[in-house]
Amino acid sequence: MSTPVFPSRLPQVGTTIFSTMSALATEHGAVNLGQGFPDFDCDPALVNAVTRAMQSGHNQYPPMPGVPALRQAVAAKIEALHARQYCANSEITITAGATQAILTAILACVQPGDEVIVLEPCYDSYVPNIELAGGVVVRVPLTPGSFRPDFGKIAAALTPRTRLIIVNTPHNPSATVWTEADMRTLEELLAPTNVLLISDEVYEHMVFDGAIHQSAARFPGLAERAFIVSSFGKTFHVTGWKVGTVAAPVPLTAEFRKVHQFNVFTVNTPVQYGLAGYLRDPAPYLQLPAFYQAKRDLFRQGLEGSRLRLLPSTGSYFQCVDISAVSNLSESDFCQWLTREIGVAAIPLSAFYGDSFDQRVVRFCFAKKDETLRTALQRLRRL
């Protein structure tokens, strides 16, 4: 007897770089600044809110699109921050994290043979999601070094078969932020087309130095064609809870929910009620830019004078560095050496490119306790 053999839906996919580096970090007792998750707890008030929801009996299926109170809170938050009204009943959906939201949006609108533009380097779920939908991945590079959008190349990639473009700001992995001018240029570029947009905004509250997050919701020509994705896990330091949101116009939401109801149906109930109550106070997310900017500054100051050249970090909780003055190794080999010999784990930027483009840049995550960052910095100063 043997297990039947069948063709893989994702034959090129293996173990992710994040799993590989995290395992290596554990093996060598390294400080893990590779995978993007906090090593500190969330606000106890949020845990208490979820606990109260469980104790109050909110433990059965909620409505498919999400608990009404949470959808209303999300709609109110978007209106307060970005001055666009979304109907909580028909335009806001609660998802099992942002990754599920992105997959669901792609499955909802991409037909076999449709082209989808991704801007590289990009989050590692985008391409497999497109392939699972039968779409054709069209890779457009961000400008090496600055990681700014090249609108000439984006325009050249648009064809009659383009169904969708995915944009991520603040950007993982480069820590860059799109400007108002960038978003208006994208709005003008897409205006004469029927191309849809996924705006991945999971780091929306991590924009530094007084800048404002330029959500697609702020631009009518983008909002009318966009699935806008966000993440409570990123915002409230609870990545393991896997709860996200999608805001989209009624026709897009209707198609999104057709898929959503058959891949997760709905999202765990007590967490939704807890989040709905917690969102009544905007202070926790309004204070987040200053919270993470302090960690960014601590990390950057600790690396000043080292041979690691700091690239700008204007948003998200990542810091990229150029390793050219430290090593002749490839990004991937350098990250493995750094983990084994120096005791700090990082992620090679080449892992975010389809062709493993190596520009001698690696990514650190500074969403860690200050003492964790200081330990990592002490080790990195040996370079």
Residue 17 has pLDDT above 90, yes or no: no
The DSSP element (H or E) to which 32 belongs, if any, is strand 31-32
Alpha helices in the chain (DSSP H): 17-28, 44-55, 68-82, 88-91, 98-109, 126-132, 151-157, 180-190, 220-223, 232-235, 250-263, 269-278, 283-286, 288-303, 331-337, 370-380
Q: Which amino acid is at 316?
A: S
Strand partners, 138: 117
Q: Which amino acid is at 59?
A: N
* Global model pTM greater than 0.85: yes
Is the CB of residue 124 less than 8 Å from the CB of residue 101? no
- Give 247-297 pLDDT, tens digit per residue: 999 999 999 999 999 999 999 999 999 999 999 999 999 999 999 999 999
Give the range among 13-27, 236-250, 265-279, 346-360 with minimum mean pLDDT: 13-27
Question: What token pair was written down for 364?
Answer: 């650190």
Give the range among 3-12, 56-65, 160-169, 284-293 with minimum mean pLDDT: 3-12
CATH number of 44-284: 3.40.640.10
- Give 87-100 pLDDT, tens digit per residue: 999 999 999 999 99
Question: Considering only CA atoms, which of 306, 302, 351, 365 is closest in space to residue 32?
Answer: 365
For the chain, the structural domain boundaries read 17-42+286-380, 44-284
Is the CB of residue 93 less than 8 Å from the CB of residue 105? no
Question: What token pair was written down for 174?
Answer: 């480069």
Residue 137 has pLDDT above 90, yes or no: yes
Longest dimension (CA), the chain: 64
Q: How much is the pLDDT for 243?
A: 98
Q: How much is the pLDDT for 296?
A: 98
Residue 16 has pLDDT above 90, yes or no: no
CATH 1.10.10.10 for the 17-42+286-380 domain, yes or no: no
Q: How much is the pLDDT for 330?
A: 97
Q: How much is the pLDDT for 374?
A: 98
Q: How much is the pLDDT for 1?
A: 79
Torsion of the alpha carbons at 204, 205, 211 and 212, rounded to the nearest 10: 60
Q: How much is the pLDDT for 349?
A: 97
- Distance in Å from the first CA to the final CA of the chain: 55
Question: Considering only CA atoms, which of 167, 196, 165 is closest in space to residue 183?
Answer: 167
| Mean pLDDT of the region 372-383 | 95
* Sign of the CA dihedral running 252, 257, 258, 259: positive
- Give 188-198 pLDDT, tens digit per residue: 999 999 999 99
| Mean pLDDT of the region 319-328 | 97
Q: What is the mean pLDDT of the chain?
A: 96
Residue 12 has pLDDT above 90, yes or no: no
Q: CA-to-CA distance for 60 and 39, rounded, in angstroms?
A: 31
Q: What percent of the chain has pLDDT over 70?
A: 100
Residue 305 has pLDDT above 90, yes or no: no
- Give 354-374 pLDDT, tens digit per residue: 999 999 999 999 999 999 999
Q: How much is the pLDDT for 223?
A: 98
